């Protein structure tokens, strides 16, 4: 069940697995594990830092989606944590990897970077020609981990830079959308207040429709039976009680 479809006082939430930002962040997480196993196998501290940053990017998206049910503030905060983990931590680690090994960081508008970004924009690139023997090729976002496992260091790290940048950009757009939604529709407290106000209004409207006593014609009051076989059940009682003991069922069949 998609929680965003649940009616009631809860705000729309859930459905994070359908978000493009989540799919890209998850692919980055999986590929980062492979990258660190391959290139940082003897550096446990660096591996832990990079993997945790990648994991934070994924898990804070899902947690923020769940928290959205009762707090748009928490949703915004966690989405921003996901963005910062990727763009302010993990991205810098991949840039450092290239710089310290004397490898190039591709300019974002270079031919290679544009081609890599276009390939990553697709889950699986369709109709790719058969690769030449010995050539490692990225087949799409879902093939990122496999590509990183086999590609030359410069190709692997720049592919990760492109993927991390895509995830961070998507999360930035997501944050902007969440902020606009908050300004337009408010948060959970306002929704609770509105629901309560409507409930009280409905009760008031119901109580305004008071029947007349069948015995004396005076307006009747909604009461609750205190004893007898109908104890706890509502009924209409004459407002002239005890002088008039006229009653009517509250929910006539």
Query: What are the tokens at 211?
Result: 């029947």
pLDDT score recorded for residue 200? 55
Cβ atoms < 10 Å from Cβ of 54: 29
3-state helix, strand, coil in the chain (%, to 5): 60, 5, 35
The three-class DSSP label of residue 167 is helix
pLDDT by residue (tens digit) across 145-165? 999 999 999 999 999 999 999
Asked if omega into 47 is within 30° of 0 (cis), the reply is no
pLDDT score recorded for residue 224? 87
Residue 50: which region, alpha, beta or left (left: phi > 0; alpha: psi -120 to 50)? alpha
> Would you kindly state where each structural domain of the chain is located, as residue ranges?
3-193, 210-249
pLDDT score recorded for residue 227? 85
Closest CA to 85 of 45, 51, 116, 43: 51
Tell me the sheet residues that pair with 235. 223, 249
pLDDT score recorded for residue 188? 47
d(CA 218, CA 243): 11
pLDDT in tens, the chain (253 residues): 344 444 455 545 557 889 999 999 999 999 999 999 999 999 999 999 999 999 999 999 999 888 767 778 888 899 999 999 999 999 999 999 999 999 999 999 999 999 999 999 999 988 777 767 777 889 999 999 999 999 999 999 999 999 999 999 999 999 998 888 777 776 545 555 555 555 555 555 555 578 899 999 899 898 888 888 888 888 899 999 889 989 998 875 5
- Say if residues 214 and 248 touch (Cβ distance below 8 Å): yes
pTM of the model: 0.70
- Return phi, psi of residue 246, to 5°: -65, 140
d(CA 249, CA 34): 71
> What's the sign of the alpha-carbon dihedral 77, 80, 86, 89?
negative
């Amino acid at each position: 069940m998609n929680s965003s479809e649940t009616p009631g006082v809860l705000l729309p939430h859930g459905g994070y697995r359908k978000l493009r930002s989540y799919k890209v962040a998850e692919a980055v997480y999986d590929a980062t594990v492979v990258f660190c196993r391959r290139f940082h196998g003897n550096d446990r501290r660096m591996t832990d830092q990079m993997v945790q940053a990648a994991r934070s990017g994924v898990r804070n998206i899902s947690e923020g989606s769940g928290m959205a049910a009762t707090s748009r503030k928490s949703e915004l905060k966690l989405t921003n944590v996901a963005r910062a983990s990727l763009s302010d931590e993990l991205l810098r680690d991949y840039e450092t990897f290239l710089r310290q090994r004397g490898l190039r960081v591709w300019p974002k508008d270079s031919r290679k970077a544009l081609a890599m970004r276009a390939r990553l924009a697709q889950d699986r690139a369709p109709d790719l020609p058969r690769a030449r023997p010995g050539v490692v090729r990225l087949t799409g976002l879902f093939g990122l981990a496999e590509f990183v496992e086999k590609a030359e260091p410069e190709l692997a790290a720049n592919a990760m830079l492109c993927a991390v940048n895509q995830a961070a950009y998507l999360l930035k757009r997501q944050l902007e959308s969440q902020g606009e939604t908050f300004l337009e529709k408010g948060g959970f407290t306002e929704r609770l207040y509105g629901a309560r106000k409507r409930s009280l209004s409905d009760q008031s409207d119901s109580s305004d429709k008071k029947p007349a006593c069948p015995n004396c014609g005076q307006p009747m009051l909604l009461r609750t039976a205190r004893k007898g076989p109908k104890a706890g059940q509502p009924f209409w009682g004459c407002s002239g009680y005890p002088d008039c003991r006229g009653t009517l069922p509250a929910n006539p069949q």
